[in-house]
Chains A and B, each alone.
Chain A
């Protein structure tokens, strides 16, 4: 039962490597009994708390917050099941054989591989995190991270449905997203320093594969899920506080319209399976600026940035998100001016 990486000489049952203990090795007590006590108290006090807290804005926030969280949850679970398989069952040597040796060739190959994962951004982040953890070079893993939610079959079909009679929109989205993933991957391969990526995912040192799989899955789910909750809370707050009529005054055409919709995509953080429907509703904007919305959304948004922090750290997200935003904006404007 080997094959699980074990950096420390952990005894059986000592399931985490030494490097992963909290600083100073502080003991943590189980808080589970307290947890249940708090839950029981809350249920008893529920109705009085509710009257004290609830008004239309709070309720609006809460509905959107819960929706965003639980809409992402199935995708997150699918993502961590895949990421745990990556971490536990697939030997690192497999990737070396599967990917072209040159990083510059591996980037488009990994982007194309992103087409087969029928998930949204919430599944691809844990998977990319584990790929990097298993020694896949960062650039192709990140190209996969960008491509998977943007150009998988489900997303393309929903785009075709939302833009009936305009198959060029589907084509433009596919091309512009693919170009963005590849270009960002290449730029990362050429210029990025390894220390920009902080490996935050914990490795299980369990000796049995079932243990290791369970631990990795629960650990990744908590790590990504916690950051997902942060992102969802922020997005719900913006939805509730900022009236979207702020974009009504923007002209519907030209560069400024593209920038506006790029920023809107970042703020709204709509799942890539539903963003085509929202883009179809932005009728006051040109097709090209709506293409920007569709290309930027699955690659850079607040929820996704939060998830990227969970997998690779803040220093990574600070560099990667703006880079992706600029490349996606340029690629979408260029493809849009040719195709649409």
Chain B
């Protein structure tokens, strides 16, 4: 690669970094807090590329009459061209956030329950006048893992968001899942609950839904004691109501 090419490639990667870091694309790929760093590094890369190209151009001008610079210098090895690959993939494939495919690949794991939560206080503050308490799948999983407060969990209707995964092994019902990301989508781990009940509509996999459910402590315990196909479901719940929603701005959950 000669210098103009090197500068152009680095600047293009920098522009891509900025366009991911500064837009809604960011949350498909990375933890939101990485955005600032991605934009900053993109600006640095663009600056480096532009300065190098300018230097090359000035040097060419100074040596007017001599053979053109591009014919004599050999800046970097050709491996640098590979940096165009992520740009092409981002432009052509433009992939969405990870979904049911990734959950299927990772079904042997589940996201860890890390931060202790006060389940009673959480449910009280989110459930107004008998309304369903909005709880994330990760919070539900943490509440179940803490064990102690099953009674209050079972006593309150819950509202959960996630994407749908069908599985013929689960008779009447489906799996509701989300992916939990520590740093980037490359380290995503699934958290899932088994929802029993008939959605009463043909809803394809990966459709985002909001369900109102009731937690079933006995079935959850039984599923943990005797893991089946979905060995790592966090909980078993009964469907009360289901509505299809738009994919959220932040498709992933974050453990901390």
Q: Which residues of chain A from 239 to 289 have a CB within 8 Å of any chain B CB?
A: 239-240, 242-245, 247-248, 268-271, 273-278, 280-283
- Give chain B's interface secondary structure class: helix
Is B72's CB under 8 angstroms from A60's CB? no
Across-interface contacts of B248 in A (CB, < 8 A): none
One of A136-144, A187-195, A218-226, A314-322 at the interface: A218-226
B50–chain A nearest beta-carbon distance, Å: 10
Contacts of A217 in B (CB 8 A): 48
Q: Is the pair B44, A81 in contact by a Cβ cutoff of 8 Å?
A: yes
Given A69-B86, A78-B41, is A42 in contact with B187 using a C-beta cutoff of 8 Å? Answer: no
**Known pairs A217-B48, A271-B187, A282-B109; A20 contacts B74 (CB<8 A):** yes
B109–chain A nearest beta-carbon distance, Å: 5
Instruction: State whether A68 and B186 are in contact (beta carbons under 8 Å apart), knowing that A13-B59, A53-B92, A74-B37 are contacts in the complex.
Output: yes
The A-contacting residues of B in range 81-111, CB under 8 angstroms, are 81-86, 88-102, 104-111
Contact with B along A204-237 (1 / 0, CB 8 A): 0000001100110111011101110110110110
User: Digit string of A13-27 for contact with B (CB within 8 Å is 1, else 0)?
Assistant: 111100011100011
A281 and B17 within 8 A (CB): no
Asked if A50 and B82 make an inter-chain contact with CB atoms under 8 angstroms apart, the answer reads no
Check B1 for interface membership: any CB of A closer than 8 A. yes
A54 to B102, CA, bound (A): 15
**Chain A window 29-62, contacts with chain B (Cβ cutoff 8 Å), 1 for yes, 0 for no:** 1111001000100110010011001101111101
A62 engages B73 (CB within 8 Å) = no
Answer whether residue A162 sits at the interface, using C-beta atoms and an 8 A cutoff.
Answer: yes
Contact status of A269 and B74, CB under 8 A, knowing A66-B95, A222-B9, A281-B112: no
B90/A35 in contact, CB under 8 A? no
B residues 149-203 near A (Cβ < 8 Å) are 182-187, 189
Most buried by A among B10, B76, B101: B76
Known: A223-B79, A242-B105. 16 other contacts (CB 8 A): A13-B69, A15-B59, A16-B75, A28-B1, A28-B2, A32-B4, A60-B101, A73-B42, A74-B34, A202-B75, A218-B10, A221-B45, A223-B80, A225-B13, A232-B86, A271-B186
Q: Contact residues of A with B, CB < 8 Å?
A: 12-16, 20-22, 26-32, 35, 39, 42-43, 46, 49-50, 53-54, 56-60, 62-71, 73-74, 76-78, 81, 158, 161-162, 164, 200, 202, 210-211, 214-215, 217-219, 221-223, 225-227, 229-230, 232-233, 235-236, 239-240, 242-245, 247-248, 268-271, 273-278, 280-283, 310
